[in-house]
Amino acid sequence: MLLLSACWLLSATTRSWNSNLLELVFPKYWPKPVYDFSKNPLTKQGIELGRRLFYDPVLSRDSTVSCSSCHLSFTAFTHVDHPLSHGIEDRIGTRNSPVLTNLAWAKHFMWDGAVNHLDFQALAPIAHPAEMDNSIEKVVQKLREKASYKNWFFQAFGDSTVTGERLLKALAQFELTLVSANSKYDRMIFGQEKYTEQEQNGYLLFQKNCASCHVEPLFTNHDFEKNGLPLDTSLNDFGRMKITKLSTDSLKFKVPTLRNIEFSYPYMHDGRFKKLREVVNHYAKTTALDRKIELQPNEKVDLVAFLLTLTDREFLFNPDFSFPQD
């Protein structure tokens, strides 16, 4: 009798929990990710929980806005059409939402690098009055009242208690899986596909004029640069200087990746350009760069043709990244 009850007790304390460890897949020649996976190992269940949270408006104060409201999978995980992204109650923010791509390699988050780690990134939109207008404390409280989340947190972490740490780690896990590495550019690198003459010419122009900041293969140097855009006095956004308080950082913004740029319009931190043509025209005109970019009209067209080879349809339409169906 004693043994039996002890058996029951044991089984009650060791409810079965298995997580399936996964490894991030990316091309071998890419640099090593900067994200420390040892502190937040990717698991099937963790990623799935992160995906549910990403698509759940429960994160916002009145449960109307989710991460995907401003980061749509079909548009490279950004908010198209709107120069400045809008959040709860149609409130408009001060910046253009960035794409969520290849985040395991990102060192800074937000246009000014205000956030220093992927884990912490979600705290900013959750708390921002023009985005979700909520707080992590309230989100945790709301999730604790939902039986389904208790189950999903248990599956992901072996413990059904919802905490801020687990919520942020799960979101990070899902976001880390958003790897884009199968564009025509990637297939060209691997010799599986050939560029047209125009694309090849555009690629050479890119390497000569753009690649020092938009470093291949991730198409960013993960740093902050001045790109010659004049200050929009209706926003007075000085970028990186807000964080470092250094005048040398005035009007510096994070260099975004160019992957899937065809779908991530409008462009720049304040979304001031709707077309890629306008972006290229800006760079060909500005005198604020270290080295003046000279481009003939036909070269501009070639450069844009190259940029379109950075579109990764497998990434844009990956069912694993879209709204969880069940």
Partner 1 sequence: MHKIGLMRKVISLLFLLGVAFGTQAFVLCQQKDCRGVWDQGAMRDRHEEMVLHFQAMFQGKIIALEEPLRISPGDSLALHTLRFYLSNFVFLKNDTVVFEEKNSYHLLDLENENSLSLEFEEAPNMDFDHIQFKLGIDSLTHISGVMGGDLDPTKGMFWAWQSGYINVKLEGFSEKCPTRNHEFQFHLGGYLAPFQSVQTVSLSVPKEKNLLLQLDLSPFFEQVDWAKKNSIMSPSKESVAFSKILANSFSVHAK
Provide the minimum distance between the beta carbon of 324 and partner 1 in the complex, in angstroms, as a whole number.
23
Residue closer to partner 1 by CB (options 163, 212) is 163
Site mask for partner 1 (CB under 8 A), range 155-194, x = bound: --------xxxx-xx--x----------------------
In degrees to the nearest 10, what's the CA dihedral of 63, 67, 68, 72?
A: 160
What is the DSSP code (8-state) at residue 96? P
As a whole number of angstroms, the distance between CA 114 and CA 101 comes to: 18
Residues near 171 by beta carbon (within 8 Å), at least 6 away in sequence = 50, 53, 54, 67, 122
Q: Which residue has 């023009």 as its token pair?
A: 130
**Should residue 237 be labelled a site residue for partner 1 when binding is judged by CB under 8 A?**
no
Residues 240-299 that bind partner 1 (CB under 8 A): 243-245
Per DSSP, the three-state class of 78 is strand
**139 close to 59: Cβ distance less than 8 angstroms:** yes
Which residue among 58, 136, 188, 301 contacts partner 1 (CB under 8 A)?
Answer: 136
Which residue among 42, 59, 100, 115 contacts partner 1 (CB under 8 A)?
Answer: 115
**Should residue 323 be labelled a site residue for partner 1 when binding is judged by CB under 8 A?**
no
Per DSSP, the three-state class of 72 is strand
Residue closer to partner 1 by CB (options 137, 290) is 137
Which residue among 1, 3, 25, 147 contacts partner 1 (CB under 8 A)?
Answer: 3
Residues near 210 by beta carbon (within 8 Å), at least 6 away in sequence = 283, 293, 303
Which residue among 44, 82, 86, 128 contacts partner 1 (CB under 8 A)?
Answer: 128
Q: Which residue has 């319009």 as its token pair?
A: 265
**300 close to 280: Cβ distance less than 8 angstroms:** yes
Q: Which of the stretches 23-31, 55-63, 118-126, 218-226 binds partner 1 when contact is defined by CB under 8 A?
A: 118-126
Binding site for partner 1 (CB under 8 A): 2-3, 6-7, 9-10, 13, 36, 39-40, 114-120, 123-124, 126-128, 135-137, 140, 163-166, 168-169, 172, 243-245
